[in-house]
Amino acid sequence: MTELRLIGGTALAEPEEVKAVPTLRLPPGRHGIPADLVRAHQRLRLLEAAATAVAEQGYGRITAARVTELAGVSSRTFYQHFEDLWACLLAAYETDAARLCEEIEAACAALVEERGPVAEADRRGRATVGIAAALGFLAAEPDVARLLSAEPPPQVAALSGARRDLIERLGALLREVLADPHGATPMPGLERRLIGAALALVSTRAANGDPQRLRDLEPELTELLLASL
């Protein structure tokens, strides 16, 4: 496996695994690092910078120049990766939305693996673990929390669509928990209301800038999301 050593000393593996690594800068000048790895690393830095820029400037003031500056790449590099600012923000949103959902699914799967059929039947237990995983993820990455929870400009249809997709996906996870094993189905649309409300709450807490406030939300949010169970 190709391994890449960064200035900060962190080992960087193949592109698939790069996403978990903090975006340190590559060494300048000739370094013999394969071009595709350099590109993958640049893209990750841009995606991370996009979330930071949204948290820092909001959608009203954000510019491609600021994203480029935060990522430590040239403007030319930015446009080699993305057509414009909105394409970059869309990629960042979709990547982070997928990471959030994977985090929740992995936490629930781990519980079932650990406790077997008991956990399978324990809807409340699985929901609690999933909500804790989501809030833990968002608290660890407050810029991502801002990116995912804030309402994007509706004029950028693709970005609004990505937000709707996230609400649908989180809603599907919640529906699975809310569904009555004896056949009764949850009311259509209820989970969308619950997820919309949860994102609004997360957005308020994330805007405050204190990650602990997001973690502290766990018992309350669990109770609120499961009130219909």
Partner 1 sequence: MAGVLIACGEVGFRETSVRAILERSGGHRAQFYQHFESKEDCFAQAYAVWIERLCVSLLEAAATTPGWEGGVREAIVRLFQFVTARPAIARALFVEVQIAGEPALARHEAAIERLAAAIDGVRADIDPALAPPEATGVFVVGGIESCVVEALGEGNLNRLWDALPELMHFVAGSYLGKEEAEGAFERASILLGRERARLTGAGEEVEER
Query: Does residue 223 bind partner 1 (CB under 8 A)?
Result: yes
3-class DSSP assignment, residue 50:
helix
Query: Does residue 153 bind partner 1 (CB under 8 A)?
Result: yes
Phi-psi region of 209 (alpha: psi -120 to 50; beta: other; left: phi over 0): left
Nearer to partner 1, 44 or 221 (CB): 221
| Residue 156 CA: distances (Å) to CA of 97, 163, 170, 220 | 17, 11, 22, 33
Query: Does residue 192 bind partner 1 (CB under 8 A)?
Result: yes
At 106, phi and psi to the nearest 5?
-65, -40
Query: Does residue 198 bind partner 1 (CB under 8 A)?
Result: yes
Query: Does residue 87 bind partner 1 (CB under 8 A)?
Result: no
Q: Report yes or no: 61 and 157 within 8 Å, Cβ to Cβ.
A: no
In this chain, which of 15, 21, 79, 160 binds partner 1, going by CB under 8 A?
A: 160
Q: Report yes or no: 135 and 219 within 8 Å, Cβ to Cβ.
A: no
Query: Does residue 172 bind partner 1 (CB under 8 A)?
Result: no
CB of 193 to partner 1, least distance (A): 4
Query: Does residue 29 bind partner 1 (CB under 8 A)?
Result: no
Nearer to partner 1, 32 or 189 (CB): 189
Q: Which stretch binds partner 1 (CB under 8 A): 20-28, 89-97, 105-113, 194-202?
A: 194-202
Query: Does residue 124 bind partner 1 (CB under 8 A)?
Result: no
Query: Does residue 159 bind partner 1 (CB under 8 A)?
Result: no
In this chain, which of 9, 154, 181, 183 binds partner 1, going by CB under 8 A?
A: 154
Residue 117: both structure tokens together: 């059929």
Residues in contact with partner 1, total (CB under 8 A)?
37
Nearer to partner 1, 104 or 167 (CB): 167
Integer Cα distance of 137 and 119 in angstroms: 22
Integer Cα distance of 33 and 155 in angstroms: 40
At 160, phi and psi to the nearest 5?
-60, -35
In this chain, which of 13, 15, 33, 59 binds partner 1, going by CB under 8 A?
A: 59
| Residue 24 CA: distances (Å) to CA of 45, 72, 105, 221 | 8, 10, 28, 34
Q: Report yes or no: 113 and 182 within 8 Å, Cβ to Cβ.
A: no
In this chain, which of 5, 25, 124, 193 binds partner 1, going by CB under 8 A?
A: 193
Query: Does residue 109 bind partner 1 (CB under 8 A)?
Result: no
Ordered DSSP codes for 14-32: -HHHHTTS--PPPPSS---
Residues at the interface with partner 1 (CB under 8 A): 57-61, 150-155, 160, 164, 187-190, 192-194, 196-201, 204, 207, 217, 219-221, 223-224, 227-229
